[in-house]
């Protein structure tokens, strides 16, 4: 099997794996979401999918900010389902960063400590932390997610 040289001089097989598919990257995002943007440090899978989708790009973050600033959630039609999220959640539970009960993921003591390490490091997830701090624990509640989900399934 021959690989062609692509822009930058790398062959396709030499390109690094996108951070979106790295479980540790996703685990870092998950603990930040739970610590900075989830009441009681816990969240449903739907809320995690929405916030992970939001964090995928500046465009997605701007879209969510605009929806909140205009208080018009009718523009939020759907959001992406992140395939790598499920694997990252499984790893995070296995590493005792999260627990799962009543269909909600919650930070454990170890997960809280891990989220504080990330939150206190100015070089990690800077854009993501800024966005999640903007969202806070009040803007995207589980009730809000349930209403959006219900609206889109009808």
Domain segments of the chain as ranges: 29-153
Determine if residue 141 is left, alpha or beta; phi over 0 gives left, psi from -120 to 50 gives alpha, anything else beta.
Answer: beta
Instruction: Classify 61 as helix, strand or coil.
Output: helix
Dihedral sign computed on CA atoms, order 95, 97, 99, 100: negative
Q: Which residues contact 12 (CB under 8 A, 6 or more apart)?
A: 3, 4, 6
CA-to-CA dists, residue 140 to 25, 37, 99, 122, angstroms: 22, 8, 21, 25
Residue with tokens 């208080």: 71
Percentage with pLDDT > 70 across the chain: 78
Residue-wise pLDDT for 44-99, tens only, equals: 999 999 999 999 999 989 988 887 777 666 656 567 777 789 999 999 999 999 99
- Read off the pTM: 0.82
């Amino acid at each position: 099997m021959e690989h062609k040289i692509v822009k930058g001089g790398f062959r396709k097989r030499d390109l690094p794996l996108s951070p979106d598919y790295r479980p540790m990257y996703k685990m870092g995002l998950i603990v930040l979401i739970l610590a900075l943007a989830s009441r009681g440090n816990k969240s449903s899978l739907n809320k995690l999918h929405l916030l992970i989708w939001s964090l995928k790009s500046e465009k997605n973050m701007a879209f969510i900010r605009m929806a909140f600033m205009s208080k018009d959630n009718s523009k939020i039609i759907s959001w992406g389902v992140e395939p790598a999220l499920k694997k990252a959640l499984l790893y995070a539970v296995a590493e005792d960063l999260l627990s799962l009960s009543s269909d909600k993921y919650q930070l454990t003591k170890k997960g809280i400590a891990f989220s504080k390490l990330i939150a206190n490091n100015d070089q990690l997830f800077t854009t993501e932390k800024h966005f999640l701090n903007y969202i806070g624990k009040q803007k995207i509640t589980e009730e809000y997610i349930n209403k959006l989900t219900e609206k889109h399934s009808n």
